[in-house]
Amino acid sequence: MSTNPTLAIVQEPPVFLNLKASVDAAETHIRKAADGGANIIAFAECWLPGYPIWLDFAPDAALWDDDGAKALYRILAENSVVQGDEHLKRLQALADDTGTYIVMGSHERAGNTLYNTTFTFSPGADAPAPHRKLIPTYTERLVWGMGDGSTLAAVETPFGTLGSLICWEHWMPLARAAMHARGEAIHIAQWPIVKDMHQVASRHYAFEGRCAVAAAGSVMTKADILSGFRSLGVDAPKAEAMLKSMPGDENTLIHDGGSAIIAADGSYITDPLYGEAGILYGTVDMTRQREACLTLDTDGHYSRPDVFELRVNTKAQTGVRFTDD
């Protein structure tokens, strides 16, 4: 196996809100990326089964007790993964079969709360490693709960440590410091779209962490959104009306991608792809990446532990604990 990993980003639309159909689509994309030589395959934020795009574009998404918003939340909850379920097992089997590492952005349901969760699948693992987004951004708090330090982790690969953060977590300096301390060689930065400031954050992360970064975004037209919803065959006219209320016609590109692969010096290995679907590939030169650490190692020779100290609580936070007498 080469010590220089090939990264792939799947910039394709999911079957919006349809979990099973999106897993079917993911399998096709994963096998294609693996056949294309990818060792690590990344998807965008909440690709499974689609970013809750109505939060950004539907005018009534944040109204109290809105029937459409409630219906969309219910449908999303019914199409979210649960740890240990058949959908995650199927993706784990794909990692085993293809010998690839798969980093999948997902909606995860635990109890009656939804989380924005990245699952990292390693070949031969018993189960994927989850990372729940620590702080849902702005209107995202209408649908997601907060993660905790118990899932701020990374996995080991033959190419070095593989980690990830989600969207605006890349503007949390202490989260970045914690992940840099994990010794990431490869980092997956998941976004709904990788617009200009997201490119800045992803390139900064690569330079600061001296790691390769796959900045993963998605593409979706309004037609993709509505056809995905209709594929469910559910009777939820208020939910469909909210999706229809987003501006533009069915050909309007609501999410326009921007995925890119970035070297440890902040330069592009693979330039951003906007406005179209596809799979991006890029091979990381690990020799050059190691050389970049001569001048900067934020968890080593460029740190000042005598001045600054960060403590990370990795204990799961629960509101109720049952103990025996």
The size of the chain, in residues, is 325
DSSP, residue by residue, 54-81? HHHH-TTTTSTT-HHHHHHHHHHHHTSB
Which candidate in 45, 108, 140, 169 is catalytic?
45
Q: What is the spatial distance between Cα 41 and Cα 325, in angstroms, rounded to a whole number?
A: 48
Per-state percent for the chain, helix, strand, coil, to nearest 5: 35, 25, 40
Q: Is 309 a catalytic residue?
A: no
Q: Is 211 a catalytic residue?
A: no
Which candidate in 133, 140, 184, 222 is catalytic?
133
> Is the peptide bond prior to 305 cis by the omega test (within 30 degrees of 0)?
no
Q: What is the spatial distance between Cα 106 and Cα 29, in angstroms, rounded to a whole number?
A: 16
Which candidate in 108, 167, 169, 184 is catalytic?
167
Rama region for 312: left / alpha / beta (φ>0; ψ in -120 to 50; rest): beta
The beta strand positions in the chain, using DSSP E, are 6-11, 40-42, 101-110, 113-121, 129-132, 155-157, 160-166, 184-190, 212-216, 219-221, 253-262, 268-274, 278-283
Q: What is the spatial distance between Cα 12 and Cα 279, in angstroms, rounded to a whole number?
A: 7
Give the residue numbers annotated as catalytic, written as ranges.
Answer: 45, 133, 167
